[in-house]
Amino acid sequence: MSIPEPHGAVYGRVLVKVSGEALMGNEAFGLHWPTIENIAQDLVEARATGAEIAVVVGGGNILRGASVAGQGLDRATADHMGMLATVMNALALEKAVEKAGVPARTLSAIPMPTICEPYARQTASRHLARGRIVLLAGGTGNPYFTTDTGAVLRAAELECDAVMKATNVDGVYTADPKRDPSAQRYDRLTHDEALAKDLKVMDAAAFALAREAKLPIVVFSIREPGAIAAALRGEGRATTVAP
């Protein structure tokens, strides 16, 4: 896989993990279209660096399976409902990306061929090679796994060079910066250091898989315009967790 010329992306193919909550903007629930358009524009700018872009989006702005399990629902059913929420989010983001002038495709791990393409590794890889932004929905297709785990799994399957974890915080800190003003941000960590320090980069299953696959994780804030492209170029404020 070729790396773009200088001033392009540090990584040739990446998977961007976007939380469902990021799509809410300042709303308490659901979708905030101007925010979705801003994220889509960031993805388009990231693609312009020369990188191939896959995206896994969460569903927490609509329904988080773990939060409703036990309220008359078993965990498997609740998680499947949460997976359907990720499909809705991916479809919205797909349309926003295409409105911004770049082709996009949604592929779901839960087959629903009248709405979007079923996920298959070869299909997703072909879309990426053709310059399309690929939205990967439906989690892993199985209950009990978070979208963080689904993101790392898809990144490993698609031979991505890194997982770009877009959050509300500009990196990994020694403590929660919202609660501890003295918290310090790490510029770079190894997987082993993050585990030893018990830093909450991702949930345990996702992080263990990233460590095994030797996948770098770049943690940055999605709140700044152009943040995804900046992170791809190795610029801006971020923490890189790498082997």
Strands 13-18 and 188-190 come out as unpaired
What confidence tier does 6 reach under pLDDT thresholds 50, 70, 90? very low
What confidence tier does 4 reach under pLDDT thresholds 50, 70, 90? very low
Structure tokens at 203: 């949930």
Strands 217-221 and 162-167 come out as parallel
* Amino acid at position 224, single letter: E
pTM of the model: 0.92
* Structure letter (DSSP) for residue 240: E
In 3-state terms the chain splits into helix, strand, coil percentages (rounded to 5) of 35, 20, 45
Expressed in angstroms, the distance from the first to the final Cα of the chain is: 20
Task: Say whether pLDDT at 1 is over 80.
Answer: no
Between the CA of residue 79 and those of 63, 70, 137, what are the distances in Å?
9, 11, 13
Give the Cα separation of 102 and 28 in Å (integer).
29
Q: What is the mean pLDDT of the chain?
A: 92
Q: Give the pLDDT confidence score for residue 2 in this predicted structure.
A: 37
Q: Where are the alpha helices (DSSP H) in 100-196?
A: 121-129, 147-157, 191-196
Longest dimension (CA), the chain: 55
3-state secondary structure of 41: helix
Q: Which of 107-116, 125-134, 184-193, 194-203 has the lowest mean pLDDT?
A: 194-203
Give the Cα separation of 215 and 241 in Å (integer).
9
Strands 117-118 and 217-221 come out as unpaired
Domains defined along the chain, listed by start = 13-242 (3.40.1160.10)
Percent of all residues in the chain with a pLDDT value above 70, rounded to a whole number: 97
Instruction: Give tens-digit pLDDT for 37-49.
Output: 999 999 999 999 9
Give the Cα separation of 12 and 199 in Å (integer).
27
Look up tokens 């896989």; give the residue.
1
Q: Give the pLDDT confidence score for residue 115 in this predicted structure.
A: 97
3-state secondary structure of 28: coil
Instruction: Give tens-digit pLDDT for 107-163.
Output: 999 999 999 999 999 999 999 999 999 999 999 999 999 999 999 999 999 999 999
Between the CA of residue 124 and those of 62, 106, 152, 221, what are the distances in Å?
25, 9, 15, 26
